[in-house]
Amino acid sequence: MAARNSSGLVAYVNARLLDPATGLDTRGALLTNGETIADVGPGLFQGGVPSGMEVVDCQGLCLAPGLVDMRVQLREPGEEHKETLKSAGEAAVAGGVTSMVCLPNTNPVIDEVATVEFVARRARKIGLAKVYPYAAATKRVEGKELAEMGMLAEAGALGFTDGIRAIRNAQVMRRALTYAATFGLLIVQHPEEPSLAEGGMMNEGELATRMGLSGIPVAAEAIMLERDMRLVEITGGRYHAAHIATREGVEIIRKAKAKGLSVTCDTAPPYFALNELAVKDYRTFAKLSPPLRSEPDRLAVVEGLRDGTIDAVASDHSPQDQDSKRVPFAVAEFGGVGLETLLAVTLDLAHNGHMSLIEALKLVTCAPASILNLAAGRLKVGAAADLVLFDPDRGWKVNAKTFHSKSKNSPFDDRPVQGMVMRTIVDGRTVYTHDA
């Protein structure tokens, strides 16, 4: 596929160029010079590629910005038996992800400048997907005392969240949003009222009753969101709701946006591609947080993505080892891996006719980058050469055993999907190629 040269210039020719930020969808070529994009467009190299360049024939496949995954649990430091920065990086580039943002719920918690710098330094040394951390909104993610948000932001934290825990105390959330409003910071919430979710294992309803499992009501998401919208209105802070999974949640965000509040949200592939029936037979790989909801909820999430109420899609990558998942459903940990299926399952939205290919790509490229004020997710001259080359129509069957992630707990295991990553480029370097 490639003819090599040592000039530092690489010409990607015969490509279908896709840039959701500008709406570009055309045949053409792209030139990289070292770590950056030097030129791009339909007319590039029409007269042939000058000598002295490495040439990559894209064979008509899609060349797009690398994916930006705004919600990943890396498990390092603290739980390296489940995932490491290196294994997560390998999983990311295999999935076309070139930038990922990690949650602070590691051990130690990312609530100090030294920990923020450790993650960034380790990721740079590994040299795969770029890693940016969120920092804890409260010290030790205990929900009591605000972390040193200003210093953490200066050290590189892209936003502030207590990760898989909701900021349950309304006064603490109010203070966080007030501080965020003053300094232009982003607060990311896990919107689930803890006392309603406590002890729950799956969606509350008829299926949970028949399975004899305690449920988590839809109201757990709705009540927390309703409270937070009032606090956003009072403070003017920037607020992002993670992994919206219910019809009521979508509607609350829709109304907040209509009022002009500074609110964004994302969802994850399980919430628009699966429903609660996936946990039948007590399948622990489908035990997620928030839980998989009903079919009407799933359809509402799809509609929220289609009409722009939901801004982005994140993998919600939550690696768990065998000892955490190969146990009875009631005691299994929550979470599923998602880096290596993020693109393919998101493309379901296009293949099923809910939106165009470029609209689906926007959800995992420039849209999350814009929320995070991250210079990524665009085919722009002068931008970092972070790219993904993929075949949107090539079908494959998810086999979690072959994943690069240390953990194999995919809710999509054995699912047929369509859309395969063929090559991933980070800062102009090819860091992944599909061999078969």
Find all residues with CB under 8 Å of 96, minimum gap 6, and list them. Answer: 66, 67, 342, 343, 388, 390, 421, 424
417 neighbors 396 (Cβ within 8 angstroms): yes
Strand-pair category, 62-65 with 202-203: unpaired
Helix (H) or strand (E) holding 119: helix 113-126
183 labeled binding residue: no
Strand-pair category, 263-267 with 238-241: parallel
354 labeled binding residue: no
334 labeled binding residue: yes
316 labeled binding residue: yes
In the chain, what is the straight-line distance between the N-terminal and C-terminal CA atoms, in Å?
Answer: 13
355 neighbors 306 (Cβ within 8 angstroms): yes
Q: What angle do CA 63, 68, 72 make, to 5 degrees?
A: 140
Residue 433: CB atoms within 10 Å:
15
The residues with which 215 forms a beta bridge, in sequence order, are 202
Q: Would you call 386 a catalytic residue per the annotation?
A: no
- Reported residue count of the chain is 436
Find all residues with CB under 8 Å of 198, minimum gap 6, and list them. Answer: none
335 labeled binding residue: yes
Q: Which of 311, 316, 386, 413 is the catalytic position? A: 316
- In one-letter notation, the amino acid at residue 150 is G
Identify which of 67, 70, 55 has the alpha carbon closest to the alpha carbon of residue 11: 55
Find all residues with CB under 8 Å of 310, minimum gap 6, and list them. Answer: 244, 250, 253, 265, 266, 267, 301, 304
**What tokens appear for 213 in the block?**
């499992």
81 labeled binding residue: no
Identify which of 201, 204, 249, 243 has the alpha carbon closest to the alpha carbon of residue 226: 249
Question: What are the residue numbers of the active site?
Answer: 316
Positions at the binding site for substrate: 105, 334-335
Q: Which residues are annotated as a binding site?
A: 105, 190, 243, 316, 334-335
- Residues flagged as binding site for Zn(2+): 190, 243, 316
